[in-house]
Amino acid sequence: MLIEYINNSMKKAVYDKLEDGSFSGKIPQCPGVIAFGETLYQCEQELKSSLEGWLIVKIRHGDKLPVIGRINLNEKMPAFTGEAVSVHG
């Protein structure tokens, strides 16, 4: 689910070519996720890395995340109600 969230977020990325020929990128739904690169590809890779770091910090702090592509990472996982299985032989 997390990989799909990242992929969907990257599809929403907006890139600009700067005056010096380099690129900037951001994901408007994810405030603060921004990156720069000499090439569009490099900028995209940096943006993905920035997004991943942003997600780690947000999740660690319990901050609310934007719902992207119908994926809501804010929903709690259902509690496990089955029995634990021992893997010791």
Mind giving me the DSSP string for 12-50?
T-EEEE-TTS-EEEE-TTSTT-EEEESSHHHHHHHHHHH
Amino acid at 7: N
| pTM of this structure | 0.81
CATH number at residue 49: 3.30.160.250
The residue range of the domain holding 53 is: 2-61
- Give domain status of residue 70, yes or no: no
- Letter for the amino acid at 54? W
The total number of structural domains that make up the chain: 1
Give per-residue pLDDT as tens, 20-36: 999 999 999 999 999 99
pLDDT tens digit sequence for 1-26: 889 999 999 999 999 999 999 999 99
